[in-house]
Each structure stands twice: as structure tokens, then as C-alpha cells.
Structure 1
Amino acid sequence: MQNTSITILGETILPGESKTIDMEIAKLHNSAKLKIPIIVQRSKIDGPVVLFSAGIHGDEINGIEIVRQIITKKINKPKKGTIICIPIVNMFGFINQSRQFPDGRDLNRVFPGSKKGSLASQFAYHMLTQIMPHVDYAIDFHAGGAGRFNAPQIRLEPNNAELKVLADVFNAPFTLYSKNIAGSFRNASQKSNVKMLLFEGGKSLDINNAVANEGLEGVKRFLEHLSMLHPKHHAVKNSQRSIYIEKSTWIRANSSGLLHNAISINAFVKKGTILATITDPFGKFERKVKAPNDGYIINVNHSPIVYQGDAIYHISKTIVNGKQ
């Protein structure tokens, strides 16, 4: 992108400037203003525009923490180009500690949105028309929902060589090939020619420092690859190569009851390994949950109570850079 002024929501940011722009699409039901800060840092030197966003689901706090640290550690001050940070996209959900928008919709299923549609649809429309036309690269940070803890992982569309290079650079512990979902921010961004990676790590309504650190170090490697990381920051090279997972499956509870986990996140298990025991509260039964195949455990349900059919583990089936 040429080193000229950038205008977002009517606010102009010149090369070398930094500015926080408040995005206000609607007020709360009590007429209080609800502002979503968009933090823009520009170098005087021409370069790419990178977006770091989180909180598209308002209860996914771990991603918000990663973007917060990007800002507080001043990693968002680029050597060249521009870095845009939106720590909380869904401020409505964040206030209510909820995944959804107040209209009950999942913001990550309504893109590209509509200027006159539902509240979530209007917000998606403004994101896509006001911000994304300026963006070349993006990382959107997420966490597992409903008590399900995700191992730190990057998700990218299959057969996309440019994104594969960026995923290699980020080098999360796991990288999952995952098709873009219709209506998602990632899908709409790709159609707008934005190269976006999706980071998953941790669980909703929780901050995990190890996950946050994985995200932060990946961001530094990502920016260093684009020659945007300021010299005062050091990108730690991860000696262990990311494990690429081509196929995976959910293991579901075989009955309702109390869930007793016996395995930790990131573990590699063999087929038949006992992963958990589900019991009833009255001591009448104990039912084992076993691994259906060899694989890495990339998500563990931390809920103490589960219902029959609930997803309790996510296990790899086919990895690309290994023997599985």
C-alpha cells in the first residue's frame, strides 16, 4: 500500500501518526454510548497494513489479552507500514460476557453484513467497508467456547500457499487446515484479498498466560517476516516445527454425568487410551471414554458436567508433517 493518508470512519491518519478512532454503530438500550476503540499506529516508512483483532465473540477473553499485550508492549509500533489493533470487536458481548450480539446473532456468521440489516449485520458491514479495504494482512484471535479449551493453534484454508508461508512463520504448536465458513470474518476478508490467519487458544471467560505468550511470540515472528517488527523487540525462534493437522474429529460424551478428565491438552495418545471417565452423581456407573485413534489432543472440555453427545475432546486423525 502506498504511504499516503488512511481514512477510517472519517478520521485521517497520516504516515508517522498514531490515533485511536472510536467506532460507534449503536448505543446501549439505556442510551449510553458504546465505543469500540480502533488503535492505529503508522510508520513514516511505506509498508503493509496489518490488523490484529479479537473479541469477535465477546466472551473469548484470551484473544483480547493477546491484542492488549501487543499494544502495551508497543509491539504495534511498526518499523514500517501500519498496524491496526481492535482488542474488542464485539463490545456488546464483552460487556455482557456473552458470545453473541444483543440481537442474538453470532457476529462471525453474518459477514459481509448489510447497511440496513440487524445490528450484528450492520456492524459487520462497517468492519468490512470502513476498515478492511486498508488491510493487507490480518490475524483474528479466538478461544474455545462453552468450557472447551483449545491448544494454541493457527487455522487456515487448505491449498493456499501464501497463508501456508505465514502459518509456518507464526509457528503455533498446531496448525489446522480448516475451510472458511460462510458468513465468517475470515471468509469475507479473503474475498476482499486480505491474507488472514485465525488463532485459537484457551477457552471462553478465561485468561491463560501460556496461550497468550504463544500468540504474542507468533505475532512477533509474523511482523519480523514482514520486516515490520521494531528493532527493540526480539522474535523468539521456535525450534519445534508446528504440527500440521489435515483431518481431525470430535470425541463426544457417551452418556450424561460428571466428567473426570484423565488426559491433558497437547498430549499424543494411542488408540484405546482412556481419556476420561463419566460417572453419575449417585455412584451407579462409571463409563470410560477411549481414544478412537492415535492422535494429538487439541481441545479438552473443562466442564465438570456433560450431557450425552457433548463434544469433550478434539483429536487429530491425519497430520501432514508426520507419520500419523
Structure 2
Amino acid sequence: MNTTKPDILTILDTRILPGESKEVNFDVANLHTSSPVNVPVIIERAKKPGPVVLFTAGIHGDEVNGVEIVRQLIAKGLNKPKCGTIICIPVINVFGFINLKREFPDGRDLNRVFPGSVDGSLASRVAHKLINEIVPYVDYIIDFHTGGSGRFNAPQIRIVKEHKELNDLAKVFAAPFVLYSKNLNKSFRNTCYKLGKPMLLFEGGKSFHIDESVTNAGVNGAKRLLSHFGMLNIKYKAKPSKKETVFINESRWIRAHFSGMFRASIPISSQVKKGDVLGHITDPYGKLNHEVKATNSGFIINVNEAPIVYQGDALFHISKKLKR
């Protein structure tokens, strides 16, 4: 990939010279009160040329742990590169973030409307602006997400199979797990894939929650990537992961056979054997005590932390086949 960029980088109609720091606004629409909504895009350029790396979070407004990871990158000065350019967008879906909702005010999931349209819905216009006014100028993208409501994801990178560069970058990031998964139609990841822009999608934690271990995994992975690109500021060191990354070819959900009160009895990231008891479903009257058991041996990469579940609800995400 060509990492030599022109001296002047123009993003959102703003010129950023080598060695400059700029905060530009990613504006699409005002609130219904006519109050402006500013979505800050924080750009740091080194004097020395190099790759352009984009860190994004908050595509879903309730996924605050991803926002916290990008916030820490900025607050700690990790976004000030030794070479090249780092662009940070901590909250893409600021409308959802304001209202603590996953979707946009129009009810649409931003991650299902890419590449968007200049005259489409509000979510579609945001997607279009991101894809047309920022993504063309970047070389690599790291997009931070969390699990859904009540479902806690172990820190993991999601990529497609049979893509050598993404596999190599995932090894460098060194999250506890790498889950091979297909690109979803009209997602940010799929659109960037079609544009030839390598993206690592990070998942960790759950919505409306900030977890220190997940945050650390995201920040440390970002440091390793920046070090790999020669961009990490000399004030910082990227420490190798203490554990080897587990690459997962196939996984499945273990679902509830009964409705009731649910309690998991094993921690996230545990390695279990087929038949191990993972949790219990009970009823309020002391008559039901159902053991939820592992359907196969593997690693637990997601745990449902909801206290009440219904028959058919996903309780545990377990690896099925590992990459050898």
C-alpha cells in the first residue's frame, strides 16, 4: 500500500499541513430545536510522511465502551503520530449518543445503510459523508464496537477469512480472540472492504457500560498497530500480549430451553468442555433449576448478563472450530 501522502491533506473542506493538528466538524443536520450538532473529527499529522489511520467508534449510540477507547487514545496523546496521520472520530452517531439509543432518530441502524446517499435518510446521509469525505484519504481503519444490550463480548477482532493483510493486522493487534465472520450487507466494514480499505472491527463489552479490561484491550491493540506502522510516539511502548490470540473459524449460540431467571456461573473468555455447567435458569417460586451446559468444547466469547431470559434467548456464544 502506498503510504506516501501529498503535503496537503484536505478533509471536510479543511486543509491540514504536515505537523498540524486540526479539529473539524462532521456536520450533517441540526437537532429538531435548530441547535447545531458538532461531530468532532480530530486530525493529527506528523511532519514525516506515513500511513493515514482512522479510529472510529459510536456507530451505534449506545456502545459507549468503544467511545471510551478512542477517547483514551486522544487523552493520552496516542493519536499524535511519529509519522503519518491519525484521524479520530470518537462518536459517529452523535444523535444516538445524545439520546442513549442504538439507532438514529429516524429509527435506522447506521451500520445497515452504507454506503449511504446524499439525499437519503439522516443515517444514510451520515454514511455517505463518511464514505465520500473521509474514507478515501485513509489507509487503515479500526472501528470499535460493543456487544448488544445485556450481552457481554470478550475483546475480539472480527475479519473475513482468507484475507492475508487483515490476518496479519489482527495478529499485530493481538486481541484475545479473532472471530472470522462474513461482512454484513450495507455495513461500514463491507463498504470499506469493497473500497479496498483494510478494516479491523473490534468488539468488546456491552452497551451502556464501560469495562476496564475491554478498554485496555482496545487501547493496547491500537498501540501495537501504530508501533507496527512506525507511527507510535516515542513516549510510548507497545507491549506484546501475554496470551496468544485464539483464531475462531466457527462458533454457535447456546440458547435458553426455558424462560426464567438466569445466572451465568463462568466468566467470559473461559475455555470449557462439552457438558460443563455454564449457568442456571430458575423460576421465582423455587420449582425450576435448569442447568445450562456447554454443547461442545470451546471458548466462551459472549455471555448474556440479563437476569431474566425467555425460551430461545441467546445465552452464550461459544467457539466451535479453531484455526489450526
Please state which band the TM-score falls in when normalised by the shorter chain.
Answer: over 0.9
Please, which moves more after superposition, 203-212 or 2-11?
2-11
Is residue 2:280 matched to residue 1:277? yes
SS in 2 for 1:93: helix
The equivalent residue for 1:232 is 235
Measure how far apart 1:296 and its partner are. Answer: 0.3
Question: In structure 1, what is the Cα distance between the partners aligned to 2:266 and 2:245?
Answer: 21
Match of 1:61 among 40, 59, 64: 64
The share of aligned pairs that are identical, in percent, is 57
Question: In structure 2, what is the Cα distance between the partners aligned to 1:151 and 1:81?
Answer: 31
Match of 1:312 among 308, 312, 315: 315
- TM-score, structure 2 as length reference: 0.98
Question: In structure 1, what is the Cα distance between the partners aligned to 2:159 and 2:129?
Answer: 24
User: Is the CA contact 2:142–2:199 (under 8 Å) kept in the aligned structure 1?
Assistant: yes
Is residue 2:160 matched to residue 1:157? yes
The equivalent residue for 1:11 is 14
Name the aligned partner's letter for residue 50 of structure 2: G
User: Is the CA contact 1:3–1:15 (under 8 Å) kept in the aligned structure 2?
Assistant: no
Question: In structure 2, what is the Cα distance between the partners aligned to 1:108 and 1:191?
Answer: 15
Question: In structure 1, what is the Cα distance between the partners aligned to 2:5 and 2:287?
Answer: 69
Question: In structure 2, what is the Cα distance between the partners aligned to 1:9 and 1:139?
Answer: 20
Question: In structure 1, what is the Cα distance between the partners aligned to 2:276 and 2:107?
Answer: 40
Question: In structure 1, what is the Cα distance between the partners aligned to 2:242 and 2:265?
Answer: 29
SS in 2 for 1:155: strand
Question: In structure 2, what is the Cα distance between the partners aligned to 1:272 and 1:135?
Answer: 47
Question: In structure 2, what is the Cα distance between the partners aligned to 1:2 and 1:8?
Answer: 13
Is residue 2:109 matched to residue 1:106? yes
SS in 1 for 2:134: helix
Alignment of 1:54-93 (within 5 A): 54-93=57-96
Is residue 2:282 matched to residue 1:251? no
Question: In structure 2, what is the Cα distance between the partners aligned to 1:103 and 1:254?
Answer: 35
Name the aligned partner's letter for residue 157 of structure 2: I
Name the aligned partner's letter for residue 53 of structure 1: T
The equivalent residue for 1:198 is 201
Q: Which structure 1 segments of 5+ residues have no match?
A: none
Question: In structure 1, what is the Cα distance between the partners aligned to 2:254 and 2:64?
Answer: 25
Measure how far apart 1:283 and its partner are. Answer: 2.1
Moved over 6 A (4+): none
Q: Deviations over 1:17-53 (max 9, x none)?
A: 1100011101111111111100000011111100000
Match of 1:169 among 151, 167, 172: 172
Q: 1:309 to 1:123 in 2, by over 3 A?
A: same
Q: Deviations over 1:219-251 (max 9, x none)?
A: 010001101111111101114220000000011
Question: In structure 2, what is the Cα distance between the partners aligned to 1:271 and 1:235?
Answer: 37
The equivalent residue for 1:188 is 191
Name the aligned partner's letter for residue 52 of structure 1: F
The number of residues matched between the two structures is 321
Match of 2:305 among 302, 305, 321: 302
User: Is the CA contact 1:67–1:87 (under 8 Å) kept in the aligned structure 2?
Assistant: yes
Name the aligned partner's letter for residue 32 of structure 1: S
CA RMSD of aligned residues (A): 0.9
SS in 2 for 1:194: coil
Measure how far apart 1:3 and its partner are. Answer: 3.4
Question: In structure 2, what is the Cα distance between the partners aligned to 1:239 and 1:305?
Answer: 36
The equivalent residue for 1:134 is 137
Question: In structure 1, what is the Cα distance between the partners aligned to 2:25 and 2:61?
Answer: 18
Please, which moves more after superposition, 16-25 or 278-287?
278-287
Name the aligned partner's letter for residue 312 of structure 1: L
Name the aligned partner's letter for residue 187 of structure 2: S
User: Is the CA contact 2:263–2:305 (under 8 Å) kept in the aligned structure 1?
Assistant: no
SS in 2 for 1:88: coil
Question: In structure 2, what is the Cα distance between the partners aligned to 1:110 and 1:254?
Answer: 34
User: Is the CA contact 1:17–1:42 (under 8 Å) kept in the aligned structure 2?
Assistant: yes
Question: In structure 2, what is the Cα distance between the partners aligned to 1:194 and 1:281?
Answer: 51
Question: In structure 1, what is the Cα distance between the partners aligned to 2:121 and 2:284?
Answer: 44
User: Is the CA contact 1:60–1:203 (under 8 Å) kept in the aligned structure 2?
Assistant: yes
Name the aligned partner's letter for residue 285 of structure 1: L
Measure how far apart 1:282 and its partner are. Answer: 2.0
Match of 1:221 among 224, 230, 237: 224
User: Is the CA contact 2:275–2:293 (under 8 Å) kept in the aligned structure 1?
Assistant: yes
User: Is the CA contact 2:144–2:203 (under 8 Å) kept in the aligned structure 1?
Assistant: yes
- TM-score, structure 1 as length reference: 0.98
Measure how far apart 1:73 and its partner are. Answer: 0.5
